[in-house]
Amino acid sequence: MASDRVVVYGLSTEGYSIACQMAINGANVFIIDESSQSAISLKAEIAKTYPNVSALKEDEPLLAMEPIDVAISKSQYLFFAPRIRKTGQETKTEVHSKFKDATSSLKKGSSVVYTLPTGIGGNSENISLLEHVTGLEVGKSISYFYYPLGGGNQPPKVIGSYNSKQDPALAGLLTNSKKEISFVGISSAEHFHAINVLSRFSSLCSVLEVCKFAQDDNTKTDLQSDDFQNIFLDDMVNGLYDLRSLGTSFEGANTLMYLINGSLKGIDGYIKRLIDEIRATLKKNDLKASRTKIALSWSLDQYEMRGDKIEMLQNLITKLRDYIGDVEAYEDPNLDLFHNDKTTILVICSKFDYEHLRKKKDNDLIIIKGNPLCEISHKE
């Protein structure tokens, strides 16, 4: 395995995680940091020492580097795992631009493993682009695989492969247990991923929509089961990129589009409800907007492939500032946020932040959990 060079394009959380796994398994791994335009050699000892991108970036260990085009031209496997920050139609443009950059130096006999979600039929476009950029024919002189990472699910159980071609070496790179990973056609892999995404969001939005009708205290108390309490805004946004990608796969009014649009509306409806709950809390406690601060606690991973959570946080800040001027986001729950002369409404957006913040006591602090019931969990 060590003779096969593996290059991961994108210093993303998902890309780094899979790069570490392969390095520890004995592969010769390079990972490309787009911001520095260099390919970093990732040895097993580095992978074991630095469990995530933040730790690697903070310590900045001295690592062997080489130019991106050189690293890619020598690669047997190229994993495409960039960070995407644009939204809407711009997303497609950004992804295509990065994919061209990543694949232009590939040589005959190499393989591309595409790890972003594409929706149904999206890989056909990628294959056409790959053939155009490299001048090589997929299935003959270059190979293409689909393996969507992240988005709220476990790693895929299957690898999508052009013409269902088996690749034992790739399976070996991606297997970190005794369980074998199987190859299916690319279309099949797209369908499996679509089912996972839709199942997850349909289930989530069922909870969100029903919880809207929990108005009286008894019902709210009864519904505060572990399942509902531990779903936070952070969980709701997981995989939104995947859902939107699916939405671009279909045209017209069909049942799948109803499911997709219904899920997107369910998330939007929850955001509106959370804002309404914050406004109601001000009214109930006779708080003036000018004397109130909104603190949004959401520890975000800045290196995730998808930018959904960062976008959602900015969206929430913008909407809240229509009502209250002093709105601030905090991404470190250990910071002492609350020493000011205003009443603070703390909105906790993830389970991680809740675990760190629920012990805090402050006389002018109201806590709202960003979960399906919008619980006011602590008030002095």
Quote the mean pLDDT of the chain. 87
Both tokens assigned to 324: 């209250």
CA distance readout (Å), 68 to 53, 101, 126, 171, 268: 19, 9, 21, 25, 40
Q: Is pLDDT above 80 for 38?
A: yes
Q: Does residue 177 have a pLDDT over 70?
A: no
Q: What is the pLDDT of residue 335?
A: 63
Residue of 195, 231, 234 whose CA lies nearest to 210: 231
> Rounded to whole angstroms, how far apart are CA atoms 135 and 121?
22
Q: How confident is the model at residue 1 (pLDDT cuts 50, 70, 90)?
A: very low
Cβ atoms of residues 31 and 7 within 8 Å: yes
pLDDT at 135 over 50: yes
Dist CA 335 CA 319 (whole Å) = 24
Asked if pLDDT for residue 257 goes beyond 70, the answer is yes
pLDDT given for residue 231 in this prediction: 92
pTM beyond 0.85 = yes
C-alpha count within 13 angstroms, C-beta hemisphere, residue 257: 7
Q: What is the largest CA-CA distance in the chain?
A: 71
- Identity at 317, one-letter amino acid code: I
**Predicted confidence (pLDDT) per residue in 43-74, tens digit:** 999 999 998 999 988 887 778 888 999 999 99
pLDDT band at residue 88 under the 50/70/90 scheme: low
Angle at 155 between CA 314 and CA 204, to 5 degrees: 50
DSSP H or E stretch at residue 111: strand 111-114
**DSSP letter for each residue of 39-56:** EEEE-HHHHHH--SHHHH
Between residues 125 and 219, the one the model is more confident about: 125
Per-residue model confidence (pLDDT) at position 336: 64
Structural contact between residues 243 and 197, judged by C-beta atoms closer than 8 angstroms: yes
pLDDT at 365 over 90: no
**What pLDDT shows up at residue 232?**
94
pLDDT digit string (tens) for 314-355? Answer: 999 999 999 888 999 987 766 666 556 788 899 999 999 988
Query: What is the mean pLDDT of the segment spanning 111-122?
Result: 93
Nearest alpha-carbon partner for 274 in 225, 243, 319, 311: 319
Q: Across residues 115-136, what is the average pLDDT?
A: 93
Q: Please give the domain boundaries of the chain with CATH numbers for all domains.
A: 5-185 (3.40.50.720), 212-379 (3.40.50)
Where residue 9 falls among pLDDT bands split at 50, 70, 90?
A: very high
H/E stretch holding 224 reads none
Q: Which of 104-113, 135-144, 224-233 has the lowest mean pLDDT?
A: 224-233
The pLDDT of residue 2 is above 50: no
Inform me whether the pLDDT recorded for 3 exceeds 70.
no
pLDDT for residue 311? 92
